[in-house]
């Protein structure tokens, strides 16, 4: 599966819940329920190797709180390893609607940001409900069902999904804790995500560590070059960053710009359990705009307890 296919699949299956309209050719009732697929993350360096993607197609009798025919992304609860519904607010797609479903196909309508659409060869929509920066796409996805699998064959997303149920254990627990106040609002790493853990530390060498956390609307990375064990490290230029996520997946990052931008303290390294604890603070700026507070992000009272990958 190509990276482009994976990206589009993630957009489609992680969009907000919505309703579909049945045609006279009724869908196979076995399509309802939870489905998942395991694939490589494609990450370079020491990091989680696998990503679990999927979706939940419900009717009113199956899952409380989901309307008939709603579609929700399925991921993993990092603390339990169980299949769970992902919070669909934190997705690059604006909207997904299953317009029609029959016994062998699903017609989906979805909207993506024009920056992302351009990279995929899409065209800007003239749909009256679409705003200038959004693109409307319609895809017809053929599907087949076996006793345990759902096979999809669409223009941008295809593959084989396995039957599961919410609450089923799909991976070992990989708990991680990463909390920080960003411009006064407290944020934490995603508890349910396609990739678990959603926050971790990569050990590239004995002296080169990187902290990574997916925080809903923001991704955070902190580099610790010259690592030599527990202690406090001053963050220099471009050693920490905050990358906003949203409609425009090409949003620029906020980065540290000088040796006075902040610090990270490593409090403890547990080699037996491969975990690291610590705290941090820093201020990051967009580009070289370190004199413009409106183009800055302030991170305070950060703390973490994370698994170490090497």
Please report, for the chain, the start and end positions of each structural domain, with discontinuous segments joined by +: 3-164, 177-309
Residue 169: strand, helix, or coil:
strand
Query: Is residue 238 left, alpha or beta, with left meaning phi > 0 and alpha meaning psi from -120 to 50?
Result: left
pLDDT for residue 281 = 96
d(CA 130, CA 95): 11
Q: What gap in Å lies between CA 58 and CA 200, rounded to an integer?
A: 33
Q: Please, are residues 50 and 36 in contact by the beta-carbon 8 Å criterion?
A: no
pLDDT tens for the chain, 310 residues: list them: 443 333 333 333 333 333 444 444 777 888 888 999 988 888 778 998 888 888 887 765 545 555 555 677 888 998 899 999 887 666 544 445 677 788 888 887 766 655 544 444 444 444 444 344 566 777 788 999 998 999 988 876 678 999 999 999 998 888 899 999 998 899 999 999 888 899 999 999 999 999 999 988 789 999 997 899 999 999 999 999 998 875 444 567 889 988 778 999 999 999 999 999 999 999 998 865 555 556 888 999 999 999 999 9
Of the candidates 292, 194, 195, 298, the residue with the CA atom closest to the CA atom of residue 240: 298
Cis peptide before 197 (omega within 30 of 0): yes
Q: Does residue 252 contact residue 245 with C-beta atoms inside 8 Å?
A: no
What's the 3-state SS for 123-192?
Answer: CCCCCCCCCCCEEEEEEEEEEEECCCEEEEECCCCEEEEEEECCCCECCCCCCCEEEEEECCEEEECCCE
| Residue 3 buriedness (CB in 10 A; 0-12 / 13-18 / 19+) | exposed
Q: Judge contact between 215 and 187, C-beta under 8 A.
A: yes
CA 136 – CA 125 distance, rounded (Å): 5
Q: Which pLDDT value is given to residue 101?
A: 80
Alpha-carbon separation of residue 168 from 80, 81, 171, 221, 257 (angstroms)? 10, 8, 9, 31, 45
Contact at 8 Å (CB) between 159 and 150? Answer: no
H-type helices in the chain, by residue range? 3-13, 114-119
Tell me, yes or no, if the pTM score tops 0.95.
Answer: no
Judge whether 286 and 294 are in contact, CB under 8 Å.
no
- Distance between CA atoms of 155 and 185, rounded to whole angstroms? 40
Beta bridge partners of 55: 35, 73
Residue 197 class from Cβ within 10 Å (0-12 exposed, 13-18 middle, 19+ buried)? Answer: buried
């Amino acid at each position: 599966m190509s990276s482009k296919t994976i990206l589009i699949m993630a957009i489609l299956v992680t969009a907000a819940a919505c309703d579909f309209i049945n045609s006279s050719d009724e869908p196979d009732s076995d399509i309802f329920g939870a489905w998942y697929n395991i694939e490589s993350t494609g990450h370079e360096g020491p990091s989680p190797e696998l990503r679990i993607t999927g979706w939940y197609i419900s009717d009113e009798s199956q899952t409380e709180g989901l309307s008939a025919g709603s579609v929700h992304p399925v991921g993993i609860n990092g603390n339990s390893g169980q299949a769970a519904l992902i919070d669909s607010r934190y997705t690059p797609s604006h909207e997904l609607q299953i317009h029609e479903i029959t016994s062998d196909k699903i017609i989906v309508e979805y909207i993506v940001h024009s920056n992302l659409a351009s990279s995929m060869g899409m065209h800007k929509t003239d749909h009256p409900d679409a705003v200038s920066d959004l693109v409307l796409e319609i895809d017809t996805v053929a599907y087949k069902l076996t006793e345990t699998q759902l096979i999809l064959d669409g223009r941008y997303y295809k593959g084989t999904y396995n039957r599961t149920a919410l609450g089923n254990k799909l991976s070992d627990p990989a708990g991680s804790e990463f909390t920080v106040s960003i411009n006064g609002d407290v944020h934490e790493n995603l508890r349910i995500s396609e990739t678990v853990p959603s926050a971790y530390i990569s050990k590239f060498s004995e002296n080169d560590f990187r902290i990574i956390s997916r925080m809903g609307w923001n991704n955070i990375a902190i580099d610790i070059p010259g690592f030599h064990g527990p202690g406090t490290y001053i963050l220099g230029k471009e050693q920490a960053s905050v990358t906003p996520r949203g409609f425009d997946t090409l949003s620029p990052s906020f980065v540290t710009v000088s040796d006075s931008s902040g610090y990270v303290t490593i409090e403890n390294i547990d080699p037996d359990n491969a975990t690291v604890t610590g705290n941090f603070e820093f201020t990051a700026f967009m580009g070289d705009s370190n004199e413009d507070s409106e183009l800055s992000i302030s991170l305070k009272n950060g703390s973490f307890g994370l698994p170490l990958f090497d």
